[in-house]
Structure formats: structure tokens, C-alpha cells
Amino acid sequence: MVQDYSFPTEDFLLLGKVAKAHGMRGEVKIFPFSGQPENIRMYRELVLVDSRGDLSPPLAILGCRVQGKVAITSLDSITSRDMAEGIEGMGVLLAKTNLPELTDNEFYWHQYIGKTVKDLKNRHIGKIEAIFPSGSQDIMVINSGTEEILVPISKTIVVREGSEEITIDPPPGLLELYTDYCGGRDE
């Protein structure tokens, strides 16, 4: 699903990819991996990464509008259809320093990826591999080592967050849907 791009992950987040050129004046359709094309409007500039890992200089966003699942975006210095076609397939990065400030009950997906997940009895469930949107709430994909466990992210389920670990209180029966979970492992 998400194409691999090589880039300095300590400095950048992969937002999506340039899907294709749009029109004759250099606009491009950006497909955001979050499923929220409207978020592209919040950023001042983006960086592109090609399949070799080469980064563009920061490109100012001159205009952006949503069309279905993509953001039709005008980027500084991309002024013709030929130039727009030349960046098709490139990854779209955002410098972490350009992320908007969060309110108290918000988080960025990248802050959860890689964290260990335990239940209230301190049983190891696995590590968060990915997060995806699902209508009213986001879903964590937890790798238990043998299964992928899908757990909604909500205030009632995620009860504690640490820098390396998340504690959850899943509804009865949720973890049992994943046969190899078998009550978790104590650590």
C-alpha cells in the first residue's frame, strides 16, 4: 500500500505521494496516506523525495484544494505540466519542525508507531506497526509477533501513554478475536 521511500525519519514525516499531474499550469494531485487531503492546506511547505532517496529543496504551497481523496496542490517552482509529470510518484514529506501544535487530547500517528502495547494486567500485546483512519476513530495495528491485532484508539481504550509504552483497556472479547493472543505474555 504505502510505497517505501528512503529519507531521514528523524527530520521528516511521509505524508503521501504525488499521484499525477493536474491541468497545464503545474498543479499535482497529492494522495495523502492519512486519508485526509484537507490537512495538506495546513502546511506552508513540503519536500519531495524520489525513489533513490534524493530530497528536493523545500517547496512552498501556493494553493491547495480538495477533490475526493486527493489534494490538488500548486507548488513553488513547479509551473508546467511537464514539470508536474516529472515529479509523479515522488513521496511528499513534511519537516517535523513544521507540524502544527497539538491540543491536549491530540496526537500524531508517528508518535504511536513502534510503541509497546500492554493491557491493564501488564500483559504484553505487541508493538504498534501502523495506524489507519476508520470513520469516527483511528485504528492501531498491533503486531503480536504472530497476529495483527486491530484496536480502536479512544479515551476509554487507551488509558495510559508513556514515551515507549501504551496501556490499553480493550472491551471484553476484542483481543480474544485474535486466536494467538491467548491472554498475552507477562513481562
pLDDT score for 16? 94
How do the domains of the chain map onto residue ranges?
12-98, 109-186
Sequence-ordered list of residues with C-beta below 8 angstroms from that of 6, at least 6 positions apart, any chain:
49, 52, 53
* Spatial contact of 29 and 22, defined as CB atoms under 8 Å apart: yes
**What are the pLDDT digits (tens) for 32-71?**
988 889 999 999 999 999 999 999 999 999 999 999 999 9
DSSP 49-98: E-TT-PBPPPEEEEEEEEETTEEEEEETT--SHHHHHHTTT-EEEEEGGG
pTM for this prediction: 0.67
In terms of Cβ atoms closer than 10 Å to its own Cβ (0-12, 13-18, 19+), residue 179 is exposed
C-alpha cell at 69: 481523496
Q: Hey, is 151 helix, strand or coil?
A: strand
122: left (phi over 0), alpha (psi -120 to 50) or beta: left
**What are the pLDDT digits (tens) for 161-176?**
888 999 999 998 888 8
Q: What is the CATH number of domain 109-186?
A: 2.30.30.240
Q: What is the CATH number of domain 12-98?
A: 2.40.30.60
Sequence-ordered list of residues with C-beta below 8 angstroms from that of 85, at least 6 positions apart, any chain:
20, 21
Sequence-ordered list of residues with C-beta below 8 angstroms from that of 30, at least 6 positions apart, any chain:
15, 16, 17, 18, 19, 37, 40, 70, 71, 72, 73, 92
pLDDT score for 132? 83
**What are the pLDDT digits (tens) for 109-134?**
778 888 999 999 999 999 999 888 78
